[in-house]
Amino acid sequence: MPFTALDHVGYAVSDVDRSVAWYANFLQVDPVPVVDYGPDYLGDIVGYPGCRIRVALLPLPSGLLELIEYVDPPLASGNDLETYQVGNAHLCLVTSDLAAEYERLEDVAQFRSPEPVRIEFGAYAGALCCYLRDPDGITIELVEF
């Protein structure tokens, strides 16, 4: 494999300030500053000349979580974030106590199942797992081995 590490996972969000507050609570880390970029070289990278974004980088157990609010071009509305849509992605984090995470996050996260689900077969057999959604509907998976 030619790659040596994971650097970051990035999500486009509708309100980076709201997302920083939500993810800081979710990850139990301190909120981070939001930085404005563009227009500059960024448009060449992402393919939107004149692009302007607001970005925050939060720590993950390995790498960073990049939250991006597009100012120009403006955010598209009506995106279908259902997990089965082609191109949809999710972040999976390992926890040592999934039941405690359900209790801690019950008022701020939209869980897709009323309780953790035991995985019955495959590479994760025996683990507990769940999907939840952030305020923009982005999917996050939690797993307890």
22-41 tens-digit pLDDT: 999 999 999 999 999 988 89
Q: Which CATH number fits domain 8-72: 3.10.180.10, 3.30.2010.20, 3.40.50.300, 3.40.50.1820?
A: 3.10.180.10
Chain-wide mean pLDDT for the chain?
94
User: Would you state the CATH architecture of domain 90-144?
Assistant: Roll (3.10)
The pTM of this model reads 0.93
For the cut 80, the answer to whether the pLDDT of residue 130 exceeds it is yes
Query: Which tokens belong to 53?
Result: 């974004």
Burial of 114 (0-12, 13-18, 19+ CB in 10 A): exposed
Sequence length of the chain is 145
Q: Please say whether the beta carbons of 124 and 144 come within 8 A.
A: no
